[in-house]
Amino acid sequence: MTTSHSSSVVDRDAGVPPNVERDAGVTPSSTQRVQGGLLDPRMLWKSLPDALRKCDPRTLWRNPVMFIVEVGAVWSTVLAAIDPTWFGWFVVFWLWLTVVFANLAEAVAEGRGKAQADSLRKTKADTMARRLTGWSPTTPGTVEEVAAPLLAQGDVVVVEAGEVIPGDGDVLEGIASVDESAITGESAPVIRESGGDRSAVTGGTTVLSDRIVVKITQKPGESFIDRMIALVEGANRQKTPNEIALNILLAALTLIFVFAVATLQPLAIYSKANNPGVPDSLALTGDGISGIVMVALLVCLIPTTIGALLSAIGIAGMDRLVQRNVLAMSGRAVEAAGDVNVLLLDKTGTITLGNRQASDFIPLDGVTPEEFADAAQLSSLADETPEGRSIVVFAKAEYGLRARTTGELDDAQWVEFTAATRMSGVDVGGHSLRKGAAASVAEWVRSQGGTVPEELGTVVDRVSGSGGTPLVVGEVRDGRARALGVIHLKDVVKQGMRERFDEMRSMGIRTVMITGDNPLTAKAIADEAGVDDFLAEATPEDKLALIKREQEGGKLVAMTGDGTNDAPALAQADVGVAMNTGTSAAKEAGNMVDLDSDPTKLIEIVEIGKQLLITRGALTTFSIANDIAKYFAIIPALFVTLFPGLDVLNVMRLHSPQSAILSAVVLNALVIIALIPLSLRGVRYTPSSASKLLSRNLLVYGLGGIVAPFVGIKLIDLLIQLFPGMS
């Protein structure tokens, strides 16, 4: 991944780039938007109409479990209307509530994204574009105003300060400050310029300064905002392979229980016929089991809890990414993030701050530290690079030197850095200073009649071996040329990175740092950051080959990128996270876009993916486990009059057969509504091994799924006893 730092400015006094906080993953938008999954009664009420609309069989058939529940509710309603009893209508009421609650879970999950979709639609207000015809780098072209929706792919538009960018595209000419708060929620403007990896602009954002010429890359109706609206509303959410497999399992279990319950009817008729002395009961008559009771039994035994919450869990997983300003182009990508084995992380801007900073001044023999610091600062005053500014700040902070300004040196002749000389510096009052690559400065010193001590080579090698970048300072004063010392530049590793990589390791994820640095520098940074491996002097072909090699070994790979040269690797990776500041090619190739352009967010994405999988597994475990209590509630209630020995299975000592059936049906519905907050928020994830996670889930949600319904059914049974007519 290549990174541009054109927007990064180092304050001379503070020495801290204003985007350091953002680079560290602390952004106002990403922290303020993260909300819990608490159940808001207003959200339930607002989502209720959508839940009722989802009761349409043409919609519900996609969820086999809840479709069976609705069919059962319809049949029970017909039976209750033919032979009305308070028991029948009470069961019918709670069966319909079960269907509505299941739809409500999905409606609430979808509703959480609609508010953000509404705010995004505001950015699509009709905008006029100034289209350029006949434009070329040497020809200004003619301007014509057209409505933004009429722009076609390949059109060229001009946008000036105060105007809204009419569509997604790439900057062809100019540089401008752009307000992207409508998309990212981040108030700080960003720099967009032609060439490099910060050329992509998004429709609906506002140019704050200067003028840019933009080539439209979107097709009508397929802008970035259009895709965001569809995704956050769930309109384009497709079921993931894991979710499809689980749906098939739930459908199979439902079918098994349909046949199992159906076989009880002939068994009941046969047993009753052979025991004519047994009186009819609410559940069991000479005609067998009551139709309403059979439906109640089926609904309580099939995995309605996970069937009701499965879709909500998937929607909420994508919503949690949106809250962190990450746009997932498919649910498959979110799920794949949870199974990732290898993380490919770019060094610059991800593991390190991205700007090399002065960390030490090393004077040679015969040069005092103060003398060398003064020379280093003076030679860097006109150096506008982050490295040059950090030298000025370091000299002031460590040696108390006042940051002189160029105004105090009106007679100075500043020497700019060029690729040919690989040096910069100043000539003032017969005193010449040069700062740059070791070989270039050494050659300059020799050309001025000086000699270079062997000590310089030793110091330069030591700095390079430690992963730093050596800059040598030389001078000519009073006709004497000499090397003064070495400035140690260091790419600073972000705080907390080692701890985060330790967490990744505990999850069984291998981290690989990718850099264009030489192997010595790469190894030093890798050791300091705590990554498992590194790829030095990486080319786009190297990245692609590494990903393919890992995938051939059965690994799932995630990586970040922002440049056109990253596009092949992003497309090949199982999880490709493109930076929003990157090129259109990178964003098209990846299956996720980070609107904050924070490469470290890849670690959060992996954690969210794992949380999604764990939540789905935990609630599936709970759903299947809580059926056990319903067996002990309903089966004895059905057959206890026929087979008194079954009373030993009535471990909850429920009051009567009808209260047992009612308690199980009521609990079955209430569990769904109670678990909506957990499905939206997700099960809390702590990095640990797969075996520990499995053990914890079995203990908490397996054992909890068995115990909780016993308590719940008994409490509801006691409540029903307060109404003698019901029990």
Binding residues: 383, 387, 417-424, 435, 562, 566
Q: What angle do CA 358, 360, 361 make, to 5 degrees?
A: 105
At residue 349, the 3 state secondary structure works out as coil
The Cα 75–Cα 71 span in angstroms is 6
Strand partners, 136: 139
* 590 within 8 A of 570, measured Cβ to Cβ: yes
Q: Are 570 and 551 in contact (CB under 8 A)?
A: no
Element containing residue 476 per DSSP (H, E): strand 469-477
Q: Which of 23, 168, 346, 596 is catalytic?
A: 346
Please give the annotated binding residues for Mg(2+), written as ranges.
Answer: 562, 566
Residue 410 among the catalytic residues = no
Taking the CA atoms of residue 166, residue 168, residue 170 and residue 175 in that order, the dihedral angle to the nearest 10 degrees is 50
- Furthest-apart CA pair in the chain: how many Å? 126
Q: Rounded to an integer, what distance in angstroms lies between the CA atom of residue 242 and that of residue 321? A: 19
d(CA 107, CA 637) in angstroms, rounded, equals 35
Which residues fall in the annotated binding site for ATP?
383, 387, 417-424, 435
Q: Residue 24: in which H helix or E strand, if any?
A: none
Query: CA-CA distance, 116 to 291, in Å (whole number)?
Result: 46
Contacts of 620 (CB under 8 A, 6+ apart): 246, 303, 306
The 3-class SS string of 365-422 reads CCCCHHHHHHHHHHHHCCCCCHHHHHHHHHHHHHHCCCCCCHHHHCCCEEECCCCCCC
Closest listed residue to residue 314, CA positions, set 249, 244, 229: 244
The half-sphere exposure of 517 on its side-chain side, counting CA atoms within 13 A, is: 26
As annotated, the active-site residues are: 346
